[in-house]
Amino acid sequence: MSYDPEKEHLTIPDAEQLVTAKAQNIFDQNLEKKTNLKFSTGKRLRARIRVLEAEVAEFQSSESARLYGLTSEVERAVAKAISEENGHRLYRLIKPLHPADFADLIERHSYTERRLLVTIVGKNFDPEILAELDEAVREEIIPYLSNEVLSSSLASLPTDDTIGVFGGLGEEEQERLLSSISEDGRILVEEGLAYEEDTAGRLMQREVVSVPRNWTVGQTVDFLRISSELPVDFYDIFILDRDRSPLGKLSLSNLLRTKRPVLVEDIMERKFHRVLVHMDQEDVAMLFRKYGLVSAPVVDEKEKLVGMITVDDVVDVIDEEAEEDLMRLGGVVEDDLHGSLVSTTRLRFSWLAINLMTAILASVVIGAFGATIEKMVALAVLMPLVASMGGNAGTQSLTVAVRALAMRELTTTNASKFVIKETAVGFFNGVVFACIAGIVSWLWFGDLQIAAVLATAMIINLIIAGLFGALIPIGLKRLNFDPAIGSSVFVTTVTDVVGFLSFLGLAAYFLI
Amino acid sequence: MSYDPEKEHLTIPDAEQLVTAKAQNIFDQNLEKKTNLKFSTGKRLRARIRVLEAEVAEFQSSESARLYGLTSEVERAVAKAISEENGHRLYRLIKPLHPADFADLIERHSYTERRLLVTIVGKNFDPEILAELDEAVREEIIPYLSNEVLSSSLASLPTDDTIGVFGGLGEEEQERLLSSISEDGRILVEEGLAYEEDTAGRLMQREVVSVPRNWTVGQTVDFLRISSELPVDFYDIFILDRDRSPLGKLSLSNLLRTKRPVLVEDIMERKFHRVLVHMDQEDVAMLFRKYGLVSAPVVDEKEKLVGMITVDDVVDVIDEEAEEDLMRLGGVVEDDLHGSLVSTTRLRFSWLAINLMTAILASVVIGAFGATIEKMVALAVLMPLVASMGGNAGTQSLTVAVRALAMRELTTTNASKFVIKETAVGFFNGVVFACIAGIVSWLWFGDLQIAAVLATAMIINLIIAGLFGALIPIGLKRLNFDPAIGSSVFVTTVTDVVGFLSFLGLAAYFLI
């Protein structure tokens, strides 16, 4: 996904002059409005100079933004330019931004400002911005783009990015965009969209470099120099047999260090990692991360080469998967940072509803011991201690389990070892916290019996927490559910119920 | 991190024959022991054939493991070979594994088996395995390796991997290893270790390819062909001025598509992303992920080129950082999957101790309303509902906030917008769940007043959950603390206290 900073210089100047002239007008009006004065020419000139100096400073900081990202100075300057409706300055600030930074800038602003940011760039809108945007935001801004901008945008993106952009759209928008691109492009996009979401087919780009096995290094190098249809970035060349099935992989660094007469077949890597087109993107990410790949060939069922996946796309997948696990463990169905208030409220609701049911279950357990609590109100005071410690210990175990399952570090080989270890950890920490909590409650209520019951319940619940904190994610995974989704609700239900039941039950039996 | 499958064929045969001869002996003894028979030659031959067939099948599946990772068939076969003490078969199974897979295999086994796995490979131990291993496990197995294996291992790794291996060791082991490597290597390693942990300096490799600005494409290509000191893998060439300061970056794909007489200066990317040697690795990861980089030059304070960071190392950092956030949110100080029982128990303890204190705080709040609860035991039954819903809603908000802060998506520009939105989400869901919980408690206890108090407390606590769930991570970040560490304990303390206080307080005021 390289970014060619020279490219935009070809198209911008005239647009810039146009914006400048318009903006200058606004600028002069603003200045006069603010100071409430009609300036004499001298004053006006000096004011202009000061403003121009400030602009030069801003421009320099936005130049550094190109290298080191969207700095907070640039962000502040953009916010100021928006609030002052200074189109000229805004354009000057935005222009040097990398597409990824511009996408960030759009995401961080709200509805009307987003629209302003997109329209002010007009036909100089870089297609890569679309690929970088969050899905929800992308769908929001596409209507602001003209068909002309859209079709030229999509034509210049590699297939994986184009398909990524399409994948996030509603059907109507998909139709509109499809009609705006070329016949060839349309076929590729439709083929890409035919693959299931989150598979290698969706992730790959169709543009690859491949050569036959009987070519020499020299032939290959010459071919690369004259070919006009190379992908923008590539790191490996694939060597194919007659059926277009990849026989080997040759890194560019290896190609470059080899003498011209050598056959590519003699220097290619024969044991390389293929990606099947229907492979889950999580498995693809696993391959890349484990073997340190930068690109991999994608093959269909007949082992024919159909595309290539590059590491930058995999990095996105790794981020996505990590985010998904984190969100799901935190009870968030979907990252909703950029979502609207309504959709966020709705997405959070379902998790809270499940939680309400499990909390009611815990309340039912407490309710069963109503008479006991009535006689000894200290029980009501202390009971959350047991449940809360169990919940936290269980969350610790399940967090380690969920991550280890996602990273394929927890397998059939070491699963039972892990469960035993977690249970033992629960037991040992249970003993320690039983002592601490017991002493605290003894000092507080001066009742050794309550202290003993509290301590016993604590040990029981922490053992249960370790056991189920390890067992539940492993069990969910084995039943082909995502362990990140259900684990925490199941585990805390268990620790709540066991916590209240053991503490109140023991109290009812021994103390009343 | 390339893996050269051909390399090992040069060294293995003699070792293999040795192991085979030894193992065959064990094998024959085993078979005879198991069947309790002295075989006739015919029987023995047929038995041998069956075993060999099984071995061929195993070998094939371990061949596929080389392409698609450690399959469960291979894992099972390895476990069987270990339990049968069949060294020959074990060696045959391990031999074709990729170093990353072998590292996984070591990690998944326990103490004595790890030792067996490492010693059976003996001097054919691939240095890359060391780089792939988890720190705790690496430190465990290094004593099993001879000085000879270690020094040749470390000499063949790129500097970043060598330094990575060193970084995880105790001082004594560091000394032993340092004395086993060459003078030049030692200087590089010591320089590397001088950089702070988790900075670009630790992450970079010293091996880079750089050319002066006045070279042509032809000169560069010829240089690459004859140079003997190229890094194993590289994707970009850096163009330097006379002070060794990078002027531009040239991707190999761009080099290859350009004609020989063109100056590298004319095709290099001038606006490229530099990494400062003291940059935090998290910022490095951000640069790579955002701009889709595969490699980046590392410069010192004087802008001189000192090294290069490649994407495979950044992928590891991304994994690490994601894991760290996930673990910390789950109350796990450090990923302890491979840790011992004692160290895991100790690492989990601190978090649980903090949790105990906040739970006691919540108990104190309940204790203040002891008299109220005594009069109306329904309060004790319902109070966990309010606290639990608040805790979950707060966790949702803080999870989104922690992730967004880590990904730099939540900045000063949109922080206040985010806090307002989260509070509003809390309010809306608060209203919905107030109705549900109110109705449930009304049906349960037939008391409209309790239902009203419960509903009001629910709304209050969910607003507080949204507000503090957003505010606390942002505040921690602004005070330069890691929001992933403290957020959940602070937020749940707030929701527990506010939950109990609002529910019991309102009840005491209105109902008693």
Among B162, B177, B198, the domain-final residue is B198
CATH of the domain at B302: 3.10.580.10
- Residue B44, chain A, CB below 8 Å: the answer is no
| Residue A327 is assigned to a structural domain of this protein | no
Do B294 and B413 fall into the same domain? no
Is B430's pLDDT higher than 90? yes
Q: Provide the token pair at B216.
A: 């042509």
Q: Provide the token pair at A261.
A: 């007469």
Do A357 and A500 fall into the same domain? yes
* Cα–Cα–Cα angle for B386, B390, B396, rounded to 5 degrees: 150
Stronger pLDDT, B126 or A396, i.e. the higher one: A396
| Residue B326 is assigned to a structural domain of this protein | no
- Confidence band of B461 (pLDDT split at 50, 70, 90): very high
- What's the CA gap between A159 and A147, in Å, rounded? 19
Do B155 and B290 fall into the same domain? no
Do B170 and B290 fall into the same domain? no
Do B115 and B189 fall into the same domain? yes
Do B187 and B122 fall into the same domain? yes
- What's the CA gap between B371 and B511, in Å, rounded? 12
Sequence-distant (6+) residues with CB within 8 A of B424 are A341, A345, B466
- Residue A416, chain B, CB below 8 Å: the answer is no
Measured in angstroms, the CA of A255 and the nearest CA of chain B are apart by: 9
Measured in angstroms, the CA of A366 and the nearest CA of chain B are apart by: 5
Gyration radius of chain B's alpha carbons = 31
- What's the CA gap between A96 and A82, in Å, rounded? 17
Is B82's pLDDT higher than 50? yes
Mark which residues 281-300 of B lie under 8 Å from A by CB: 286-294
| Residue A323 is assigned to a structural domain of this protein | no
**What pLDDT score does A31 carry?**
53
The beta strand positions in B425-505, using DSSP E, are: none
Which amino acid type is present at position B379? L
B-chain residues within 8 Å CB-CB of A327?
Answer: 399-400, 403
DSSP structural state of residue B412: T
- What's the CA gap between B7 and A262, in Å, rounded? 19
Buried b (16+ CB within 10 A) or exposed e, A307-345: bbbbbbbbbbbbbebbbbbbbbbbbbbebbbbbeeeebb
Do B377 and B496 fall into the same domain? yes
Q: Whose CA is closest to B390, among B489, B452, B460?
A: B460
- What's the CA gap between B104 and A414, in Å, rounded? 11
Question: Which residue of A82, A260, A381, A431 to mutate against B (max B Cβ within 10 Å)?
Answer: A381
Q: Whose CA is closest to B347, among A391, A456, A393, A474?
A: A393
Q: Provide the token pair at A48.
A: 């202009």
**What pLDDT score does A101 carry?**
87
| Residue A495 is assigned to a structural domain of this protein | yes
B-chain residues within 8 Å CB-CB of A329?
Answer: 326, 329-330, 399
**In this complex, how many residue pairs, one in chain A and one in chain B, have their CB atoms less than 8 Å apart?**
379
- What's the CA gap between B155 and B397, in Å, rounded? 49
- Residue B95, chain A, CB below 8 Å: the answer is no
**What pLDDT score does A64 carry?**
52
**What pLDDT score does B55 carry?**
67
Mark which residues 179-198 of A lie under 8 Å from B by CB: none
Run of H or E residues at B211: strand B210-212
Indicate left, alpha or beta for A198 from its phi (over 0: left) and psi (-120 to 50: alpha): left
Measured in angstroms, the CA of B251 and the nearest CA of chain A are apart by: 8
Do A262 and A364 fall into the same domain? no
> DSSP string covering A405-446, please?
HHTT-S-HHHHHHHHHHHHHHHHHHHHHHHHHHHHHHHHHH-
| Residue A13 is assigned to a structural domain of this protein | yes
Beta bridge partners of A350: none
- Residue B219, chain A, CB below 8 Å: the answer is no
Do A176 and A275 fall into the same domain? no
Other Cβ atoms less than 10 A from the Cβ of A122: the count is: 15
Other Cβ atoms less than 10 A from the Cβ of A71: the count is: 15
| Domains identified in chain B, total number | 3
| Residue A329 is assigned to a structural domain of this protein | no
Cβ distance A425 to B323 less than 8 Å, yes or no, reads: no
Mark which residues 364-393 of B lie under 8 Å from A by CB: 366-367, 370, 373-374, 377-378, 380-385, 387-389, 392-393
Give rounded-to-5 percent helix, strand, coil for chain B: 70, 5, 25
Parallel, antiparallel, or unpaired: how do β-strands A246-251 and B210-212 relate?
unpaired
- What's the CA gap between A328 and A393, in Å, rounded? 18
Which chain A residue has the Cα nearest residue B489? Answer: A392
- Confidence band of B155 (pLDDT split at 50, 70, 90): confident
Do A51 and A108 fall into the same domain? yes
CATH of the domain at B15: 1.25.60.10
Other Cβ atoms less than 10 A from the Cβ of B296: the count is: 26
Mark which residues 452-511 of A lie under 8 Å from B by CB: 496
Range of the domain at B57: 7-198
Do A147 and A17 fall into the same domain? yes
Q: What is the mean pLDDT of residues A423-428?
A: 96
**What pLDDT score does A184 carry?**
77
- What's the CA gap between B453 and B382, in Å, rounded? 11
* Cα–Cα–Cα angle for B94, B95, B98, rounded to 5 degrees: 85
Measured in angstroms, the CA of A378 and the nearest CA of chain B are apart by: 8
Beta bridge partners of A216: A263
Is B145's pLDDT higher than 70? yes
Is B276's pLDDT higher than 50? yes
- What's the CA gap between B371 and B512, in Å, rounded? 10
| Residue A422 is assigned to a structural domain of this protein | yes
Among A267, A297, A312, the domain-final residue is A312
B-chain residues within 8 Å CB-CB of A389?
Answer: 352, 355-356, 359
The beta strand positions in A242-390, using DSSP E, are: 246-251, 275-276, 295-299, 305-310
CATH of the domain at B486: 1.10.357.20
- Confidence band of A66 (pLDDT split at 50, 70, 90): very low
| Residue A318 is assigned to a structural domain of this protein | no
Interface predicted TM-score (ipTM) of this complex, two decimals: 0.80
Do B216 and B186 fall into the same domain? no
Is A413's pLDDT higher than 90? no
